[in-house]
Amino acid sequence: MNQKIKYENSYVTPSKVVCIGRNYVEHIKELNNETPDSMVVFNKPNSAISDRLYYFDAYTRFEGEICFLIIDKKIAGVGFGLDLTKANIQNKMKEKGLPWERAKAFDKSAVFSDFVNFSGDITKLSMKLHINNILVQEANYELMIYKPDSILKEIESFMSLEDNDIIMSGTPKGVSTYNISDEFLGQIYCDKKLLVEVKFIVT
């Protein structure tokens, strides 16, 4: 069954989720990664999409992100997303120079809020993630190494973006593991206006 996300007042089916890795300097430092020479891009399949946050194991890490819905090759909507990562598997893959799919593309590993139409000033976008009422992640346009326009251009240089595909623009510092019953509150702002707010209770 194809997974859907809610955009405005209807449900749409993304063919894929395109993710940008290592897009915030402080996140690169916290994981002791090398700063890449070019944009890190990887995909999650439609089966990874979920509107619920599940607990997998003690090694699974959350990564909060500003996410974009694509229509007609342009950013049409914005939402909040969690890129879930099986960190123990990813570390093994990185050590051996192997692909990350087992760590990144598993079912229900792309957790999304509803998406809202967005045609405002993209340079004013920001994101906050609270867990159990504690602010754990905060990001904004200025902190991105690669801005949304350059992300779109890079993706389209080698891969087609279909209507309703989602771009996850990368995570800032503050990633960690999580537990059953944790309460996540994700928010997307444009300047100081709240555009999206979503709550997930881990099950």
Mean pLDDT of the chain: 94
Residues paired with 49 in a beta bridge: 110
Cα angle: 145, vertex 164, 7; to 5 degrees: 100
The CATH number that applies at residue 65 is: 3.90.850.10
Quick: pLDDT tens for 94-150: 889 889 899 999 999 999 999 999 999 999 999 999 999 999 999 999 999 999 999
Mean of the pLDDT values across residues 9-30?
88
Q: How far is CA 179 from the centre of its chain?
A: 19
- The two structure tokens encoding residue 203: 């099950």
Counted domains in the chain: 1
Query: Which candidate, 125, 122, 107, 15, places its Cα nearest to that of 70?
Result: 15
- In the predicted model, is pLDDT for residue 3 greater than 90? yes
Mean pLDDT, residues 146-159:
96
pLDDT at 38: 85
Mean of pLDDT values over 58-86: 98
- Confidence class of residue 66 from pLDDT cuts 50, 70 and 90? very high
In the predicted structure, residue 36 carries a pLDDT above the cut 80: no
pTM of the model: 0.95
Using pLDDT thresholds of 50, 70 and 90, give the confidence band for residue 30: low
Q: Give the pLDDT of residue 94.
A: 84
Query: What confidence score (pLDDT) does residue 31 get?
Result: 65
- How far apart CA 17 and CA 105 sit, in angstroms, is 9
Q: Mean pLDDT lowest for which of 29-33, 37-41, 57-61, 129-133? A: 29-33
pLDDT for the residue 25: 74
Mapped onto helix, strand or coil, the DSSP state of residue 29 is: helix
The whole domain housing 171 covers 5-201
